[in-house]
């Protein structure tokens, strides 16, 4: 974690990377850069906030539009024809940008200080938090009153060399930790596969199918050395003709039979299915039998 913080600090110091509101792999268009000038939208007959938001590219924008107009909207469901709504600049610009809506949703407000936060009802918020908005407002005010930054002192070669050595030590330490973590993950995955391997899944639907599964499961013993397989017991209803039960090993049918609601028949069929499936896993030749 320390390595990542140092790396981020270096990037921010030598180029100001990390544009707010962008997703990995996205390139922010100049059209979606901060535009303090909001756009006015006149509510049309039949409009509601979701429809207005969709007009600007995503129905998810509705909450940001409500936040920007909390002094004009008492309840998000109550807007009226002819009403003028302020559309935040980033949302207004999104229509023609081609960017993913997420880049706007993460930071839709250019000027938090201009938002009517005192009129916001937190009960109507889910995507944004009133506390977070107030915090951003206070930070914006603090930045306006901050004195001019002190000019950075150029570090000497000795300091730079010490930093390089510390950085390399962190890199190698993180690489060792990453390799160890990968080994632990592989071990965990192998253990999980061992636990899953050989499962017998019940995908029956009726009492007949359930009884068949119980007989099969209670008699099933995997052949020695068998691995990397899953058994599925399936059922396909056949109206007026009982039900068709089948057994599959890794999607290969080893048994298929039409059963009637007679337990002695079900028991025999289950025991026979066990033998058929056992032979299949041993690699013997077998035939799918339909009765």
**CB-CB neighbours of 49 under 10 Å:** 22
Domain boundary assignment for the chain: 28-140, 200-282
Could you tell me how many residues make up the chain? 291
Residue 291: pLDDT band (50, 70, 90) is very low
Contact 290, 258 (CB under 8 A): yes
Kindly state the DSSP code that residue 252 receives in the 8-state scheme.
Answer: E
Sheet holding 200-203, edge to edge: 200-203, 231-237, 243-249, 252-259
∠ Cα 227 233 239 (to 5°): 160
Would you call 242 helix, strand, or coil by DSSP? coil
The mean pLDDT of the chain is 76
135: its two tokens: 């915090």
| Region at 54 (left for phi over 0; alpha for psi -120 to 50; beta for the rest) | alpha
Query: What is the predicted pLDDT for the residue at 82?
Result: 94
Question: What pLDDT, on the 0 to 100 scale, is given for residue 144?
Answer: 67
Q: How far apart are CA 249 and CA 253, in angstroms?
A: 6
What is the C-alpha to C-alpha distance for residues 76 and 38, in angstroms, rounded to an integer? Answer: 19
Q: What mean pLDDT is predicted for residues 118-145? A: 82
pLDDT digits (tens, 9 = 90+) for 6-28: 333 333 333 333 333 333 334 33
Whole-number pLDDT of residue 6: 35
What CA–CA distance (Å, rounded) separates 240 from 112? 70
CB of 105 within 8 A of CB of 56?
A: no
- 64 pLDDT band, cuts 50/70/90, is very high
Name the class of domain 28-140.
alpha beta
**Residue percentage of the chain with pLDDT more than 90:** 25
The pTM for the full model equals 0.42
Work out the number of other CB atoms within 10 angstroms of the CB of residue 198. Answer: 15
pLDDT greater than 70 at residue 119:
yes
- The CATH code of the domain at 200-282 is 3.30.160
Instruction: Return the structure tokens found at 243.
Output: 């039900």
DSSP 112-123: GGGS-GGG--GG
Confidence (pLDDT) at 95: 78
- Fold match between domain 28-140 and domain 200-282: no
In the block, which residue shows the tokens 């010490």?
162
Structure tokens at 182: 């990968």
CB 125 within 8 A of CB 63: yes
User: Ranked by mean pLDDT, which of 69-83, 112-126, 187-201 comes out on top?
Assistant: 69-83
pLDDT tens profile 27-63: 333 344 565 577 899 999 999 998 998 899 888 888 8
Burial label, 89 (beta-carbon count in 10 A; 0-12, 13-18, 19+): buried
- 172-221 tens-digit pLDDT: 665 556 666 677 776 665 555 445 678 899 999 899 999 999 999 999 99
Under 8 Å between Cβ of 91 and 108: yes
Helix (H) or strand (E) holding 53: helix 49-55
pLDDT band at 1; cut points 50, 70, 90 = very low
Half-sphere exposure of 104 (CA within 13 A, CB side): 31
Question: How high is the pLDDT of residue 107?
Answer: 81
CA quadruple 117, 118, 120, 122: dihedral sign: positive
**Tens of pLDDT along 267-277?**
888 999 999 89
Strand partners, 246: 234, 256
The pLDDT confidence band at residue 87, using thresholds 50, 70 and 90, is very high
């Amino acid at each position: 974690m320390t390595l990542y913080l140092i790396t981020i600090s270096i990037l921010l110091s030598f180029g100001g990377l990390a544009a707010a509101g962008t997703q990995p792999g996205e390139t922010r268009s100049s059209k979606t850069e901060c535009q303090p000038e909001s756009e006015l939208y006149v509510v049309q007959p039949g409009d509601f906030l979701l429809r207005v938001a969709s007009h600007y590219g995503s129905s998810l924008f509705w909450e940001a539009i409500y936040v920007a107009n909390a002094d004009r909207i008492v309840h998000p469901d109550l807007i009226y024809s002819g009403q003028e709504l302020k559309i935040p600049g980033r949302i207004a610009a999104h229509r023609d940008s081609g960017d993913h809506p997420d880049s706007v949703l993460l930071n839709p407000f250019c000027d938090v200080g201009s938002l009517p936060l005192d009129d916001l009802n937190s009960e109507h918020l889910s995507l944004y938090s009133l506390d977070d908005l107030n915090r951003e407002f206070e930070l914006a005010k603090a930045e306006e009153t901050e004195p001019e930054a002190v000019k950075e002192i150029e570090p000497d070669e000795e300091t730079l060399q010490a930093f390089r050595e510390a950085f390399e030590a962190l890199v190698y330490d993180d690489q060792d930790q990453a390799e160890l973590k990968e080994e632990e993950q592989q071990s965990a995955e192998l253990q999980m596969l061992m636990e899953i391997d050989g499962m017998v899944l019940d995908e029956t639907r009726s009492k007949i199918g359930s009884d068949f599964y119980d007989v099969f499961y209670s008699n099933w013993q995997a052949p020695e050395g068998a691995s990397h397989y899953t058994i599925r017991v399936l059922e396909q209803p056949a109206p007026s003709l009982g039900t068709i039960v089948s057994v599959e090993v890794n999607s290969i049918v080893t048994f298929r039979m039409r059963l009637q609601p007679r337990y002695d028949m079900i028991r025999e069929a289950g025991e026979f299915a066990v033998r058929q499936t056992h032979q299949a896993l041993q690699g013997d030749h077998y035939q799918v039998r339909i009765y």
